[in-house]
Amino acid sequence: MSISIRDLDKHFGSFHALKNASLEIADGELVALLGPSGSGKTTLLRSIAGLEAPDSGQILFRGADATESRPQDRAVGFVFQHYALFRHMTVFENIAFGLRVRPKKTRPPEEEIRATVTELLKLVQLEWIADRHPDQLSGGQRQRVALARALAPKPGFLLLDEPFGALDTKVRKELRRWLRQLHDELGMTSLFVTHDQEEALELADKVVVMMDGRVEQVGTPEDVYDNPVSASVYQFLGDVNLFHGRVAEGSFLHQPHAPDESTQATAFARPHELEVDRYLISDQSVPAVLLHSYALGPKVRLELRRTDGGGLVEAEITRDRHRELSLVAGDAVWITPKHLRIFGPDVGGSI
C-alpha cells in the first residue's frame, strides 16, 4: 500500500511539531523516519496511524484520502516502543486479540483465528512459547510477539515506533536482520521511527531525515549519507570534525578566525576521512597534538587538539597505522583531510 503525506502540519499548544511535512512512500518499501528527539518523526508516524489528528494537510492511502479516517479503518499494524502486551494473556492470546475483538460480522471463525496465530508464531519463530505470559519472555521475544500481534489482522502496512530502542545492542542487531528478512518475505509497506543512524542506514530502503518538524532529506541510505543536503543532516548522520576557513579558487583555506565574514565557510570531515602523520604533507594539513588514543576493534580513535587555535579533532586510523606511527599522548602531528564537505552561505559541495 502506498502512502502520500501532503503538507502535514501539527501543533501541541505552542509547540510546532510538524511543519508542512510531505512524503511519498511506495508499495513494498521499508522506510526509516530518522531524526533527533523532538524532530517530529513519532508525530508523523502517529498521524499516519490515525492516533494524532493533524491541524492541516492530507494523508492518502493508495490515492484515497484517509486524513479523517478512524485508526481502526486504516488497516494499519502499529508496534509500540514498549510492546504494550497484555500481561494477563498468554503469547497466543495476545496475538489473537486483534482478531477476537472485531465486530461479530467481520470476526473470523475460531478455527481461522487459531490457524492465523499458529502461522504467525512460526513466522516469528516463537511457536514453542505460545502458552507463556509476557513477563516470562525476554525483551527480544516480547518485541516479536508485539510484531506478530500487529500482523494478525493482515494490515495494509506496518508502522513501528522505535521498535528496538529498549533492547541491548546484540539483540537489537539480531532483530534488525530478522525484521529485514521478514519484510522481504511479506512484501509489506513498512515505516519505522528511529534516532539510531546505523539502524536506519542498515535496515531501510529509504531514509527520511527529519529536523525541527520538517522533512529535511529523503533518499537511499547511501545517498543520504554521502550527499547530505545541509550541515545539520551531515552532523546528525555520524561523528564529524569542523574546519573553519574560507574557499578561494576552488580550495579550502584553513583559517580558524577568518578576517572577513563574507568569505567564511565551514568544512566537515568524518574521523575516518583524516590522515595523521608526523610531518607536514600538504597545504591542507593542520598542526595538532595527541591528547588520547583508544582502540575500537580494528580501528584506533585519536583525540587531538589543533595547535593553530582550531579546537578539538577526532581521527580514526587502523591499528597497523597506529603502530607504524608509534604515537603517544603529547606527540605533535599533522592532520590532513582526505575529503571535505563544504557548507557556507555562498558555497557548497566537496573538495
User: Which of these CATH numbers, 3.50.50.60, 3.30.67.10, 3.40.50.720, 2.40.50.100, describes 241-350?
Assistant: 2.40.50.100
Q: What is the mean pLDDT of residues 68-88?
A: 86
Q: Of 19-23, 89-93, 138-142, 275-279, give the lowest mean pLDDT range.
A: 138-142
**Sequence ranges of the domains in the chain:** 3-236, 241-350
Contact between residue 315 and residue 302 where contact means Cβ atoms under 8 Å apart: yes
Torsion of CA 337, 310, 252, 216, to 10 degrees: 80
pLDDT tens sequence across 143-198: 889 888 888 888 888 999 988 776 777 777 887 888 888 888 888 899 999 988 98
Secondary-structure percent of the chain, ordered helix, strand, coil, rounded to 5: 30, 35, 35
Q: Considering only CA atoms, which of 25, 1, 72, 14 is closest in space to residue 213?
A: 14
When pLDDT is cut at 50, 70 and 90, the band that residue 268 belongs to is very high
Q: What's the average model confidence in pLDDT over 10-27?
A: 96
For residue 23, give the nearest of 194, 208, 151 by alpha carbon: 208
Contact between 220 and 34 under an 8 Å Cβ cutoff? The reply is: no
- Is residue 345 over pLDDT 70? no
pTM value surpassing 0.75: yes
Mean pLDDT of the chain: 89
Which pLDDT score is estimated for 336?
A: 94
Class of the domain covering 3-236: alpha beta
The proportion of the chain whose per-residue pLDDT surpasses 70, expressed as a percent, equals: 94
Bin 109: left if φ > 0, else alpha if -120 < ψ < 50, else beta.
Answer: beta
Q: Return the pLDDT at 344.
A: 60
